[in-house]
Chains A and B, each alone.
Chain A
Amino acid sequence: MAQLLAVLIDGLIYSSWLFIIAVGLTLIYGVMKILNIAHGSLYALGAYSAASLAGYWINHGYPPMGSYAVMLVAAILVGLIAGPVIERGLLRFMYGKDEIVLVLVTYAVFLILEDFVKLAWGVDPYFIAQPYGLLGSFDVGDLTYPNYNLVLFGAAVLIGAVLAWVLTKTRQGKMLLAVIHDREMSGAMGINVGRVYFITFTVGAMLGALGGTLTAPMISVQPGIGAETIVLAFAVVVIGGLGSLPGAALAAILVGIVRSAAVHYRPELDLFSIYLVMAVVLIMRPKGLFSAQEARKI
C-alpha cells in the first residue's frame, strides 16, 4: 500500500515535469505544424541560464528565496531572445515546406544550439541544488519528498490552466484557434498570421526554457540533457495527439504513472516503459489519443 502511494506520488511529480517540457512543443506543433526538435536545446539553454544566473545570485549573498524569481527571469530571457531569433531569422523562410523538412530544419537548429551551449558554458557540469532544498520537505509514510516537487506540480497545473483559458476565453486565443483551423482563410479574414506564428513560437520557446530552468536544480546541468529531454517530450506529445493540450496532459499523466510503476516494481524497464507506451498508443490510435479528424485530400 505504501509502495502504491509512492508510485502515485512519484508518478504525479514525473507527470508534472513531463507536461512542462512537452506543452511548448505541442503548442508550436498545433499552431505551426512544426515538430520542433530545437525545443530540446531551448530546454538546455533554460537550464544553463538558470544555473548561471541563480548561481551568481546565491554566490553573491542575495536572499536565496529570490533565486526562484531569477530562474523565472532566466526562462523569459531565453524565450525572448532565442524564440524571435529562430522564428524571424530562419523558420519564417521555411513555412509551407513539407513537415518532414521542417523537422530537419529544427534538427539543424538543435545541432547548432547544442554546440553553442558547449561554447558558451563549457562541457563541465553545473550544479545549483540550493533552490531544490530551500523549501523544506513533506513526509508521506516513511518517504520524504522535497517541497520543490509541489512547485513543479503547481507550475504544471498553472501553465495548463492559463493556456486553456487563453485559448478558449480570450480574443487572442480564438484568433489562434482560427489560424490552427485554416491558416489561409483566417489570413483572408484579417488575422495577421505571421504575428500569430511569431508570438506562438516565442511563447513556446519560453515554455521550453521554463522546463529547463525548473529542472536545473534537480539535475546536474551538462551537455546532452537537451537530446535526452526532447525524445521524452516527443513521446508525450505524440501519445497525446500532436497539437492537443488536453492530450499532452493526459499523456503526461499516463507516461508518468507507468514509468514510476516501472521504476518501483521492475527498475530494468525504466526507459523502455515510456517508449513502449508510445508504441502501443500509436499502434492502437495512429494519431495519438486526442487527434482531430482530418478530411482526406487527393
Chain B
Amino acid sequence: MKHDPTLPILIAGSIILLAVGPFLPRWAMFLINVSLCYGIVVLGMMLLMRTGVVSFGHGLYYCLGAYAAGTLDQVFKISDMAVMLVAAVMVTALASAALGLLLRKYRDIFFAMLSLAFSMILYGLLVKTSSLGSSDGFNIAASRIAGITVAGTSVDRYVRYALTVVFAFIAGVFMHRYLNSHMGRLAGAIRDNELRVEYMGASVGNVIHVNYVISAVLAGGGGALAAIAVGHIDPEMAYWTTSGEFVFVGILAGTGSVLAPFLGAFIFETIRSFAYEYSPNTWQMALGITMLVVIMFLPGGLWSLFTRKRKAA
C-alpha cells in the first residue's frame, strides 16, 4: 500500500505554523488564524459532502458556537478562551444531536432547505434579541486562557493564533482517522448507493446523524475561534449567505483529503482580504466565475489537481 503523507503533513504544518507565528506580521497572523477557523468549518462540510448531503444552513452552528462563546463573556462574565471553546463544542453538539433526529430522514434538496430554515430561525431570533445586540451583534473580550490573563500582554494575539492551530490540528487528525474508520468509509458508500448500504446491514440514518453532529461541532468550534480571533460577533454568521460560502469553499477545495479544506479556506480568505482592499465590488463576481469553472472542469475540486498529477507520475 502506498504511504499516505497526510498525517506527517498535518504534524509538520502545525509545528511550522506554531514556530513561525511569533515572527509573522500582525496581518499575516490574523489571516492564517481566520483561514484556519474557516478551514475547520469546511472540514465538517467536507464530511457531509462525502456522505452525499449538503447543508445550506451550517451557519447555524458557526453562529451558535460564536454566540455560546460570546454569551459566556457578555452574560456570565467568563472570558476564558478554553472555557469558551468547550462551551461552543458542547452547545453545538447538543443542538445538532437534537436537530439531527429530524434531518437524518431528509436528503438532497430537502436536507439543504430544512437546514437552511433552522439557520434562518436562529438568524431571525438573534436579529430581534436586543440583549445580545440585535443585528449589530456585540464585541467579545476573550482575555484569559486556562486562568492566565493574556489580554494586554505581548503574547495576546499569538495565544489566540496558537489555540486555533492546535484545534485545527486536532480536528484534522481526528477527521483523517475517522474517514479511514469503518463509519467514515460508510460515508462514501451512502453517497453512492444508500439502499445497498441498508441491505448490507448498516444504518444510513445513524451514519448521517453522527456525521452531522461531527460537522456541526467543527462548525461551532470554528465559529468560537473566529469570534475569539476577531473579537466581534453578529447574526450575519447565521445568514444563509454565510452557509453558502461554506458550501462554496467545500466545492472549491474538494473532498479528496483533510488537507483540502484548509488549503481551500486559506486561498479563499487570502483572495477575500485582498479583494476587499482593491476591488470590493467585483470579488463576488470572481468567486462566482471560479465556482463555475471548478464545477465544469474540476468536479473533484482544486485538490483533484494534486491527485491527478500523482496518478500520472
- Measured as residues with beta carbon below 8 angstroms from the partner, the interface class of chain B is 35 or more
State which of A107, A111, A231, A271 has its C-beta within 8 Å of the C-beta of B116: A231
Assess whether A115 is in contact with B295, with CB atoms less than 8 Å apart: no
Assess whether B292 is in contact with A105, with CB atoms less than 8 Å apart: yes
Work out how many contacts link A and B, with CB atoms closer than 8 A.
118
Assess whether B114 is in contact with A231, with CB atoms less than 8 Å apart: no
Which residues of B sit under 8 angstroms from A118, Cβ to Cβ?
Answer: 281
A110 interface hit (Cβ, 8 Å): yes
**B258-313 residues at the A interface, CB under 8 angstroms:** 281-285, 287-289, 291-292, 295-296
Assess whether A227 is in contact with B240, with CB atoms less than 8 Å apart: yes
Assess whether B251 is in contact with A104, with CB atoms less than 8 Å apart: yes
Once A104-B251, A275-B121 are accepted as A-B contacts, the answer to whether A116 and B109 lie under 8 Å apart by CB is no
A65 to B243, CA, bound (A): 43
A143 interface hit (Cβ, 8 Å): no
A112 to B284, CA, bound (A): 6
A261 interface hit (Cβ, 8 Å): no
A279 to B57, CA, bound (A): 12
Which residues of B sit under 8 angstroms from A279, Cβ to Cβ?
Answer: 114, 117-118, 121
Once A271-B120, A298-B195 are accepted as A-B contacts, the answer to whether A105 and B285 lie under 8 Å apart by CB is no
Q: Interface size (A, Cβ < 8 Å)?
A: 45
Assess whether B109 is in contact with A93, with CB atoms less than 8 Å apart: no
A224 to B32, CA, bound (A): 29
A295 interface hit (Cβ, 8 Å): no
Assess whether A242 is in contact with B118, with CB atoms less than 8 Å apart: no
Which residues of A sit under 8 angstroms from B282, Cβ to Cβ?
Answer: 115, 119
Q: Which of A35, A110, A111, A123 has the largest count of B CB atoms less than 10 A from its CB? A: A111
Assess whether B288 is in contact with A108, with CB atoms less than 8 Å apart: yes
B113 interface hit (Cβ, 8 Å): yes
Assess whether B124 is in contact with A111, with CB atoms less than 8 Å apart: no
State which of A93, A110, A268, A276 has its C-beta within 8 Å of the C-beta of B121: A276
Which residues of B sit under 8 angstroms from A116, Cβ to Cβ?
Answer: 285
A131 to B106, CA, bound (A): 45
Assess whether A282 is in contact with B110, with CB atoms less than 8 Å apart: yes
B126 to chain A, nearest CB (A): 9
Which residues of A sit under 8 angstroms from B284, Cβ to Cβ?
Answer: 111-112, 114-115
